[in-house]
Every structure is written in C-alpha cells, then in structure tokens.
Structure 1
Amino acid sequence: MKPFVSLIFGLIGLVTLTSSVYVDEAFKTDWQLSHVGQLTYGNTVLLKDSVIAWTEANILASINSTNGELIWRKKFDEILCNGILIQSSSSSEYVNLALYDSSKGTSTISKWSISDGFLEYSFTIDGRVDNILSESSPNYDELILLVNAETSLVSPFSIDAKTGQVTQLDTYEVSSGDIDINDSQDKYAISSRFKDIVFTKKAVIQESLQLKLSQQANGIITLLKNEILQWEKDESLASIISSGFIGLAEKEIVSEDDLVYEETHDPLTAYIQRVKRHITALPLLVRYFESVLHSPFNLKDTSIKDLASNETDKFGFRKLLILTASNGKVFALDTFNQGNISWTTDTSEYIGKAFKSFTLDNSKVLVVDQELEAVLIDGLDGTVLTTYSLANNQPITDVFSIKSNSTVALFGTTETNEVVPIDVHELLIGDLVYFTQKVANTLNGYLYDPKSNRVSETWTFTPQEGHKIVKVASRDLNDMSASIGKTLADRSVLYKYLHPNMLAIATTSQEDSSLIISIIDSVTGRVLHSKIHNENVDTSSIVDLVFGEHWIVYSFSSYGSVKGQKVGVWDLYESADTNDRWSSSEAYSSFDYFPEPQVISQSYILPEKIKTLGITQTKYGITTRDVIMYLENGQVASVPKRALDPRRPVGEQPTKEQMQEEGLSIYAPLLRLDPKLYISHSRNILGNGSKGQIMSSATFLESTSLVVVIAGDGDIFFTRVTPSQPFDVLKPSFDKLKLFLTIGALVVGIRIVKPMVDRRQLNVQWGI
C-alpha cells in the first residue's frame, strides 16, 4: 500500500510542474493593461484610421483613430535612442524609423507596414541620424535622405522595392545650402535637393486631416477631430515609481478576548457568554446562505468599501493594486475586476512632483515630494485625509521606509550620504532598529535609537575593486515557513538555514566580466557565503536576484564558450549531514557566533533571457514556491522551485524513492520551459526589464497566490497562480446544484430503502 501511495503523490508532483490555472479561468482571473508611454514631439503620423507614434518608452505603436485602442506595438532595445519617425513618401502604407545605438555609434533605418507592423526592410549605417526624408522618383523605388547635424553630412540611399537592396549614393555636406531647416514652436520644415529631386518634410504633431493629437502633463492623450473629442487615453501608468497591495483583513471567527474570557471564568459563565456570542452572530448566518446562493467568485459589482464592512470576500482574491505614477497620480486597480480603476487621485493638486510613495499597513497611501511635503490618502476610496510637511533642516536626496513591528518609519539620505530619521512617530519607541540601505556603491548597516532619535552607521559592505552593486535582495517579512527541514527519501532531514537576518548581494565588474554573489548578515555585516562567476558575464545585460525561504535564485547572461541566459540557485542548510541541527539548542542573536550555512548550488541554462524574477507567496508557506520569470520575449513563466532543485542527481538517474518522495529528476543543464508554465498565455508583455518588478501577495486560501508583473515603462500583468494545485477550493464551474440534488436524492433513497432493509433483516431473524 505504501509504494502505491508514494506513486500517487509522485504523479501529483509531476502534474504540478505543468499546470497553473484551470482552462476555464484563463483570461478571466488574469488581465493585462497595455501602454505605449509618453509621446515624443514630431514623431507622430496621423492617418484617417490610425495614429502611428514613437514614444519615450522606445515603442513604435499603432493606435486606432476611432476609439484609441492599440492595433499593434513594437518594443525596441532600451539602448537605442533619438528615434525619428516619418511617413514613407514612396507609399502611404508604410512609415520609416531611424534609431541611434550609442554603444556602437551606428544608426538603424527601418520601414514598417502601417496596417500590421510588418518589417519591410532594415539597414545600418555609421554615425547618428538627426533627420530623415523619403521620396519616390522615376529612377528609384524609394530614395531616403539621412541628415547628420553634428557632421553636417547628408547621405542619400536608394532602396529597390522588389529585392529590398539598399545602395548608398554620394554623400555631401549640408553647408552647401542644399538643406534648409525652418523651426517654429509647433511645426518645422526640412527641404533638400538631390539630383533634381526635392525632399520636403513637414511635421506637425497636432494637426493632420482635421485631427489634433496632444498629450497633457498629466499623461492623458487626446484626439480631436474638428475640435470634437474622439477619445482620450491615460498613459500615466506607463511610468510607475511605486507599487503595493491593499487587501481586506481576514475576519476572525473567535477573537482572542473571547478565548481569554472563557479560560478565566467558570464553565457556566463561559457557556452563557458563548451562547450570547452565537446569538449576536446569527445575522452572519443569513449572509452565509446568501453567499452560497451567489458564488464567492462574483464580487465585481461590490465596492471595496462594502467588502471591508461586510467581509464578503471569503477567499481574499480581491485586492487593490496601488500604483503611483511619476506625474503624481495614484491609481487603485481592482485585481478581481480585470484591473479596472477603482479610484484615482492626482497628488499634484496638493504637493509638488511625486518623489516617493509608500503603501502602509493601515490601508493608507503616503506620497512624498522632493521637498518632503506629504499627502496621506485613504487606500480604499482615494480620499485625501491630510497633507503635512516632513521637512527637516537637512536637504534630503532619497527617502526610504523601514518596517518594524507591523509599523512603517521613514528615513532619508542627505547630500553627504548621512541617514537621518524623517517620520518615526511613536511607533518605534523602546525598540532598537537595525536596517540596511544602499548608498552610492556601498551597502551600509544602521542602528536607530528611539531614545536619542539618532541613526548611527554600524558596518559597511564595499564590493571588490572594479565591482558595482547591481542588486540587493532579502527575504520578504510576510513569507511564512511551514517547516524547519526538508524530508528526504530515506526519511532523514536536512535542516533549513532559516537565519532571519540575511540578505543577498550581486556585484558585477565590467573590467573582468565577473559576477559575485554574497550572502551577509544584515545586522553585523558578516559575510556568510560568497561565490564568483568568471565565465565571461555580460555586465550590460540584466542581473536579477530573489531570496526565498532558505534559498536564492539569480540570473545573468554570459558570452563565453557556453553563452546564453544562466540561472543559479543556492539552497542553504544548517549542515551537510542529515538530522544535524545546531539552531535547536538555544536562542541566539546576530552578535553571537553561529555556523555559516552549508550551500548546495547548481546552475541552469535557459533558452530565453530573463528580465525580472519574483517568488510566489502564500498564507502559511505550506504550498510549494514557484519562481516567476518575466522573459525578454514578453512572456511570464511560473517555474516550480522543484525544477530548480540543486540536489537533482548529476549523471545518474534518481532512485525510485527520490522520484516518489522528493520529486527529483536527473539534472539537465538546459532548463526547457514547458508551454504550460507560461501563465501569460498568448499575451505579449512589453516593458523595460531593468525597471521591472514582480510582486506577490497571499490570499486567504493557502493554495493561491496573487502575482503582478510591472514591466517597467510599459505593461501591467496580473494573475492568480496555484503552485501546488487548487487543493482547497472547488472550480468556479463546479455545479453546486447537482451536488445538492445528488445529496437530496441519496437522502430520499435511504429513507425509502431503510424500511425495506429493516423488514428483510427482521424476516431473516424470524426465519421467514
């Protein structure tokens, strides 16, 4: 029986690796908000059916002129700049785009189809292009004129429409007077003559075909036709400076005060008190039956305020995603209702330009400007509660928050890199608070003493010479740990290294193309473990790092003999020997001596580049974790931590017990992502990976985690994931009526059959 049960659980473990949501939940429990960003002046082509625009987010987009919906988008590398967009003169169905690569000193000129965004041709030249003109002529299918203002050179190119062959013609200088540039506030004209061909470019971003396109400072794009508003589109969320979740607290069935009362009184008094409490709770019984008739998944028509008062969100699926844009707007997106905006508040009406924003535990949002003027907002409805000043005598260059005892205190960094308290209220009185903060290219440890209201520096982590700190990660304070050890196939235990004061640091060196990963104690600055990667690390690519329960996962790219995207994983244990635990003896602090972790590490190669990493989070930490990967191809994958287990056997098959009990498989360097791991399905999430962020929030169900991907200068994607399958909830499509009818039929059948069975048993006893 035991092997059979083990086999069943082993198969369940394998299924877990290839499933994220139910089929009928796809595109219902997840959503995407697509953005293009801030428009660039002079780089918009207005047509009858569409608007073609080049934006500051390096996105070439086609927007429907009738309703403002996106038709297609193309995302370009962040290193490309100086985008210049014009409509092709050889055909009204195409646009020409010039981009400059500052790292290579080259410019790329491309031609794109207006209808579907198809690339017609592309070629690269040396130098920077400051203007581009396009004409057709009897001798050429298309003639493109490229102007370099710095060198005063004009470069004509001819393009064969059939073959796409590009031929450079004679280059000549602008100083001859062939180029005439006429600038004004709203429009400009460029004309040139080359071999009796007159080039003319007249661009007015606002006016074309009686259309007027504009983007306000508050991020809203408007399109007017004959001075009549056709549509408006708010692009503020394309540039986010802060994010956080606001959820509803889970209602306690029995309060702690009630339990204490019953324990401290005699049984009769305690029983009477319990009866009174049950009578008081009778109205909740009515609400319960109402919720049974109405699916708990149908909360779209209920406001978040009503949910807070009626506690009707039993599963904790509905939360507000609080986003603060760089223009000062604060948005609350309803995660349960396809990301619809629950409320929005423009803080520029109360303070200066938003500098930092913090989502507090009491469902409040605090926004601070550069002058430390603050506005406090009710996170449930967006009401401005108060405005006040946090300014002190020293100019502040940065503001950050420290969480202690479920409260938040604000600290600031001065121009001399000194850390000072800004807003600590009375929440830290009596507590010595240790915290870390990155200052320039060092990571410093600090101690805040509430009695003197002073901050003192305790230690400094300085990377090796030539190295730069690129990422710092620590374990989430809300991340629960359900067990202290990992049970192996032979029933022995490897005890997890769960030291609470740990953080991981990634540093890179451009000189020797290396990457160093270090784990340190955040209170004393003691280095607990460190490893260097010398395999030709591409320091220009994104390096990311996340800290899980007792493990870290990091990603980097290399260009050596084994080039591509690499993923490293460390598991930290108290001892390399099983059943060996030192932390159980007595309590200890970071100032005491304690052993360093025993690290089991492994590396994998991924077929896709990683932009951002994240980790799922559940209520009690019982559910297995998934590592969320936002990939360069625009997809989001939820990879089980089990697939990245560094204990996967190398060069030999795992034993039957390891497969069944631990879910281990043989190590393979190439980690192929099963299509079922892509939780974004067919969506394409565009954004700047270096500014991206992945957040996770627990629900009331242990099986389910809420995940949001903020792509950075681009899209927002949200979904629900169940790393260990939804073991504690029925499918939304489950037919409750049939269940009740089946139970009712069984009850009726039992009532009918029971007398017949009793009569037969009686007859048997009488020998009839």
Structure 2
Amino acid sequence: MTRVLSTLLGLAVLASTNLWGVLAIFDDEINSVDWQLSNIGKYECIVPVSIENSNDQLLVLSTLGDKSLLSWIDSTNGQLLDRLPLDFLATDATTSNRNELVLQKEGEVNVVIDPLNGLGNQDSDAAFDYQTYSSCRPDLSLVQSANGKLKVLDNDKQHVVYLQDLPENYSGVTYFKRCEDGSFDIITSTSAGEYQFSKVDNFEVTQSWARDESLTNIKAFAFLSAKDPLSSKIFAKISQEEFMSIPEAYTYRLSQNVQRLKNFIVERNFSVGNIVKDILLGEDDEATLLQKDINFGFLKYLIVATEEGRIVNLDARTGRKLWSFETQLKDISRIEATNSETEILIVAESGDLWHLDISAIEKAPFVLKKSHLPANRHAEPFENGEYIYLGLEDGSKTVFKIHKPRPNEEFYLLDHNETHLSASLYKDYAVENTWKIELDEGEKIIAFAKRDQSPVVSVGNILGNRTVLYKYLYPHLAAYVTGETSTETMTIRIIDTVTGELVHSVVHKDLVDLSSPINLVLGEHWCIYTYFSRAPVPEQKIAVIELYESLTPNERLSNTSSEIDALSNVLKPQVIQKAYIYPEIIKNLALTKTKFGITIRSVALELESGQITYLPKFILNARRAEEALMTADDKREFLNSPYVSAIPISDFTILTHHKHVLSGPSSELVSVATNLESTSIVCSLGHDIFCTRVSPSSQFDKLKPSFQKGQLISTVIGLLLVCFFIRPMVDTKKLKTKWFVKG
C-alpha cells in the first residue's frame, strides 16, 4: 500500500511541475535591447516626390560628410521611410513637370533620379530650371515673420490666412508649398535642428508633426553609470551596525528582515493566494525592473555633444532624451566625467572649458565654472578628469590642472598627428619631452591605438596537451598604421610607449587602398587591423598579430614576483600572425569590454553596408593551422579550429538585425561594460546613434524573464514531499536487511 501511495505521489509531483506547460522560449530581443535614432541632418532642400496635390511624401536633401543624402519622409506623420546616400555633393534640387528629381552638382551638371525608387535616369533630358516648382530656395513672398509671429498671406497679399507663434530659436522657413485650392504646407526650422511641419486647409491646421535632427553628427560623448538609490540606505544601516555589539547588530538586522516580511505581507492584503501567486508567477513591476537595470549596470547615461554645441543626455537603454543644454560651442572635442561622475568637463578646441554639475543626472545641469585654456588641436583628460593634457597648435604641450595636484606625481603622455609620434613625462608640474618619432616624407599615420587596459584573467593560452603558451602582457604598448601613397604600401608598428622602441612591424605591399577605411585595435597580447587591398584581387582583409613571451610551451621568461621596469625592459615578444578575408568593407572596429574580462573577448565591426556585427577573438586566432597540419593536441585545444582564409558573416552575430545605420565619415564605435560579466553595451555614434547589448559568451549570469520560477519551486517542493514519504520505507528496508527479514 505504501509503495502504491508513493508512486501516485510521484506522478502527482510530475503533473504539478507541468501545470503551466513549457514556457521557456528563445525570444528575439530586437527592439528591446537595441535602439536607433535615424537622422537626416540639416534640411538643405525639400521637394515633393510628386507635383500632384495628392502627394503624401517629401524628399529631403541633406549632407552626409562631403556628399549628399536623399531621405523620403511621410508628409502625414513625419516618419522616415528610406534614405539613399549619394556619391556626390548636390548643390540644388527640384522636381520637374514629369515628376523627375533633378539634382545639380558643381559645374552645373544635372543628375536625374526617379523619386519613387531612387534610381538614376541617364536617358532623361530634364534640365535644371529655377523657375520649376519647389527648388532649394522656396518662394516665400507670401510668408512674413515679425514680433514672434509667422504670417501667411493670400495671393493678393492683402489678408492673413494663417498665423502661428514662432518656435524658440526660430531660424527660418525651410519649405513652403501652396496648392491651387488655397491649402499649403509649411516647414519651419530652429537653430537647434528641429523642424515643424504644418498642413493648413480652410484656415485650419489639419496635419502637423515635428522631427528633431539635433543629434546628427556627434562630436564628443561620455558614458555615466546610474547611482543606486538603495545603496545610500544600505550604507546608512551598515554604518549603524558599526557602533553596535554583535548581539545588538544581529538583533537589529533580524528586526529589519522581519519588518520587510511584514511589509511584503501587508502589500498583498494578507492574502495567501496573492503571496503564493507573486512568489511563483509574479511579474516584476516597473520599480523592480528599474532596480534590476541599475543592479545589472544596464542603466547608463549617454551624454553627447552635437556640432551645434548642444549637450544632450540620453538613456542608453532606450535612447530617450532626458535633457538638453545649450553651450553655443561649435568646436567641442571632449566630454569627461569627473568628481565621482557628479560633474562633467566640456573641452573645446578654441580653449573654452566648462564645468557642469550633473549630480541630479536626470535633470538639466547648471554651470559651475567657466575657464579658458590655450587653443589646442588635441585635449585628453586623465586621472578621472583631474588633469587635462593639451597638444597646442604650435606643437608644444601643457597640462592643465583641474584641482590642486598631489606631489611627486608622474604621468607618461603620448601624442600623435599625421606626421609624428611623441611622448612626454609630466613631473613636478612640468611637461618634459622624452622621445619623438618623425615619419618619412610621403608617409602619414592613418590609424592609432593604445593597448586595452581591461582586466587580464589568464597569463597564458592552455594548449591541447595541457601545456601553457605564455602571453606577452607588457602594459606600455601602442600600435599605429602608416601609409605611403606613392607605393601603395602600409606598415603596422607596435612600439613601447615609455621608450619609443620598436617592438614589431609588418609591411603590406599588396596595393593597399589608402582611401578605404583602415582600422586598428590593440588587445591584451594581440593586435587586430583591417584594410582593403587590390592585389592579387580586390578584397577586404582582417589580420591579427599575437605576442608571446616564448613560442615554446611552458617557458615563461618574465618574473612573476616583481614588476618590470619600463626603462630597463629587455624582454621582447615572439610573434605569430595570420590574415583573413572578409566579405564586406569594415569601417570601424571596437573591442567589447566586460567588467572582469572573463567573457570571451570579441571585436565589434561596423560595416559600410550599415550593419554592425561582431567576431569572437578565437576566430581571429593567429595560431590556427590548416586541418592537414593540425596535430591531435591542436584539435583538443579549446575553441581551436582549422584555418580557413575567408570568414563569413554569421546571421547570429548581426547586432543591427534589419536596421540600417548611417554612421557618417567621423563616427565612433564604442563599447562599455555592465555589471553583468556576460554583457557589454555597444554603440555607434555618428550621423545616426545606435546602441545595443551583446553577450559573446551567452547570458550565463542572467536568467531570462520567462524562466520557469514557479515550475522550479514546485518541483523542489514535490521532491521534498516524495522524500518525506519514502524515507520511512527506506529505513524499514534497511532494518529488515540487517535482521535478514524477507519483505
């Protein structure tokens, strides 16, 4: 009877664990962990897609770098429909009587485009005529602005048919179209980059929308972490316990936990059903989700500076604008958080230095102090913003001290431009030049990277036979790429930043296209760079250089008991390198960063196609060999695979999904760590702004919201009940076994 009862109980437990079915699913997190601000830029010209009155699309001509951009906008709601980068700079545009878009280039050369699909029409004989309706200089003879009001007159200019208040920072009317029935469309603009559309029919506004283009072309940025509002309360409670005896502290903490339990029960109206429901099936409310984002480090603030001098604070989770602040500085080069991230420094090339208080991070800041530095070509804050290194226009260097300096401080500073590299030592409140590298005539620096200072979790690579290949972890390294146009060659050099000594160099003579993007990153013991070459065939290449203390396994040459003196370092690395072919042109590179550096390091790639993807570092392995040359130990090595010259693009690593990011010519690809070791935030900042979260090693330290919490708890309870009923049976069986009693 007991055996039958336990069997039925076990079946009941299995049934209870499946009450809610299998809820674990693999969900696509698109639009939940990533966001994009798709910008058009300054509206140089606006023309209708069709000259028909029923037209519901507008074509906007703007600037993208030194070329033009065509954008299609839904005139009913302002939604951006599509964008087309052009390979030339258009100076004017108009719509012909045959509904063709005619663009004028320099030299009065006309380009005809079908405005419905963006395809060129070389056979068209349409000419550019400034009398044709709607050019980049709209007819504003019926529009007047005065005394804070915008007026639209009738055809006889006798009566006002429309009147509206001018927006703040009003700069002009960008678009005006009047139809035969008396209705008209008008777009006003502000100096801050905001555009307001209104469609007026029978003296009433029937459609209106606004677009904010102020976040186009980011010039500087800074990431700030959110402060945990509970941390101050926890710190206060811990501080109280410091003055208590052990029994008093234990009693105090127990009372606090009992009070939290009471609050939990009271919030659920003493209902057992509500308590069980919230424990097993309850979903997190907004406050709980916000606290999780703070704890996980997902809630970060992205503070950016635009080319018009506006400072904007964005929620890095969603792109929501929290506040904006006008500085009127057109040449901001750097934003740096300082004073425990309660202040930010705004540095401009003209020498202006602003201190803004952002202690209330989600509220508009205020100016603490304004200073003026020498005009500079390069500014780099260091030591958490306590100092600012300035490279001046005349080639001299100086260090500006924000606060009172501490004595006996020494800092090595590195500077470079297109023709030279130089290093300095800041000591005793003075800058002393230490070394300088001048490039040959015709050679210039194209890319530069300092060694990434993320935590190092292992000193060597474990091989398949359990031996170790020790990494060259010398911290004072930098790498730069130089190009020579006459010979179409490219050279990569890795140097010691303290002495300027050359550590390793590689020369590429395969007809390198120096006009294409060339990128470089320097990791813990490896260097990755990309370039486009035309020999033997045109192709994008990505190469890796790895530095080791010795290529003999288990041979370590560095001394683990003492720190190497940079000025007397005689240990030189041994090098392995490998090159791969990539199917698309790579525009930018960035290393994914995590809090402790345990997650597999990856390289984020921004492609010219508008996509952002990533490659795990083990794919870009310089020690990969062809399968026929691999030994049994090589095949047993963790994450080692045979060498294949071409690296395909995996659909599973596309971070932008179906989105298309227009980065612009001076965009930056950046990565910041979160509090979760598995997760890194990757952002592209340029013409568009795109941010997402990436987990190269999967989210091993975070449970999904769909995790079967209730099912797990019920399973544990069921197993405990089964053990409770089975335990007497086991004890009886053991007793009978000892007395040799057959049961």
SS in structure 1 opposite 2:127?
strand
Partner of 2:22: none
- How far off is 1:279 after superposition? 4.8
- How far off is 1:207 after superposition? 0.5
1:360-379 equivalences under 5 Å are 360-361=337-338, 362-363=340-341, 364-369=343-348, 370-378=350-358
In the alignment, is the contact (CA less than 8 A) between 1:347 and 1:354 conserved in 2?
Answer: no
In the alignment, is the contact (CA less than 8 A) between 1:61 and 1:73 conserved in 2?
Answer: yes
Render the CA deviation track for 1:30-58: whole Å, top value 9, x for unaligned: 22221111111466768741221111123
1:393-408 equivalences under 5 Å are 395-404=374-383, 406-408=384-386
1:95-114 equivalences under 5 Å are 95-99=101-105, 109-114=111-116
Partner of 1:224: 198
Render the CA deviation track for 1:523-575: whole Å, top value 9, x for unaligned: 22222111111110101111111111211111111122232111111111112
- How far off is 1:401 after superposition? 2.3
Distance 1:301 1:254, change over 3 A: closer
* Residue 604 of structure 2 corresponds to residue 602 of structure 1: no
1:700 partner letter: N
Render the CA deviation track for 1:139-163: whole Å, top value 9, x for unaligned: xxx532259xxxxxxxxxxxxxxxx
Partner of 1:215: 189
> What are the ranges of 5 or more consecutive residues in structure 1 without an aligned counterpart?
1-20, 124-141, 148-177, 190-203
In the alignment, is the contact (CA less than 8 A) between 2:376 and 2:393 conserved in 1?
Answer: yes
Identity of aligned residues (%): 28
* Residue 504 of structure 2 corresponds to residue 533 of structure 1: no
> What are the ranges of 5 or more consecutive residues in structure 2 without an aligned counterpart?
1-24, 142-172, 179-183, 268-274
Distance 1:184 1:60 in 2: 13
Distance 1:300 1:41, change over 3 A: farther
1:269-668 equivalences under 5 Å are 271-272=246-247, 275=250, 278-279=253-254, 282=257, 313-336=294-317, 338-341=318-321, 343-348=322-327, 352-353=329-330, 355-361=332-338, 362-363=340-341, 364-369=343-348, 370-378=350-358, 380-392=361-373, 395-404=374-383, 406-426=384-404, 429-439=407-417, 441-449=419-427, 451=428, 453-477=429-453, 479-584=454-559, 586-650=562-626, 652-668=628-644
Partner of 1:62: 72
Distance 1:391 1:205, change over 3 A: closer
- How far off is 1:602 after superposition? 0.8
1:389 partner letter: K
In the alignment, is the contact (CA less than 8 A) between 2:95 and 2:132 conserved in 1?
Answer: no
Partner of 1:89: 97
- For normalisation by structure 2, the TM-score amounts to 0.79
Distance 1:179 1:739 in 2: 75
Partner of 2:211: 233
* Residue 59 of structure 2 corresponds to residue 52 of structure 1: yes
1:111 partner letter: I
- For normalisation by structure 1, the TM-score amounts to 0.76
Distance 1:550 1:375, change over 3 A: same
In the alignment, is the contact (CA less than 8 A) between 1:627 and 1:639 conserved in 2?
Answer: yes
SS in structure 2 opposite 1:649?
coil
In the alignment, is the contact (CA less than 8 A) between 1:36 and 1:61 conserved in 2?
Answer: yes
1:53 partner letter: V
SS in structure 1 opposite 2:661?
coil
Distance 2:330 2:593 in 1: 33
Distance 2:412 2:484 in 1: 29
Render the CA deviation track for 1:69-104: whole Å, top value 9, x for unaligned: 111111234xx223433223213xx4334556xxxx
2:603 partner letter: V
- How far off is 1:429 after superposition? 4.1
Distance 1:633 1:684 in 2: 8
Distance 1:721 1:42, change over 3 A: closer
Matched residues, number: 651
SS in structure 1 opposite 2:618?
helix
Distance 1:383 1:346, change over 3 A: closer
Distance 1:43 1:64, change over 3 A: closer
Distance 2:389 2:578 in 1: 38
1:121 partner letter: N
Distance 2:287 2:407 in 1: 43
In the alignment, is the contact (CA less than 8 A) between 2:308 and 2:329 conserved in 1?
Answer: no
Distance 1:312 1:659, change over 3 A: same
- How far off is 1:280 after superposition? 8.3
- How far off is 1:241 after superposition? 0.7
In the alignment, is the contact (CA less than 8 A) between 2:352 and 2:371 conserved in 1?
Answer: yes
In the alignment, is the contact (CA less than 8 A) between 2:139 and 2:176 conserved in 1?
Answer: no
RMSD over aligned Cα, in angstroms?
Answer: 3.8
- How far off is 1:366 after superposition? 2.1
SS in structure 2 opposite 1:744?
helix
Partner of 1:170: none
- How far off is 1:733 after superposition? 1.8
Distance 2:654 2:615 in 1: 9
Distance 1:464 1:106, change over 3 A: farther
SS in structure 2 opposite 1:238?
coil
In the alignment, is the contact (CA less than 8 A) between 1:570 and 1:600 conserved in 2?
Answer: yes
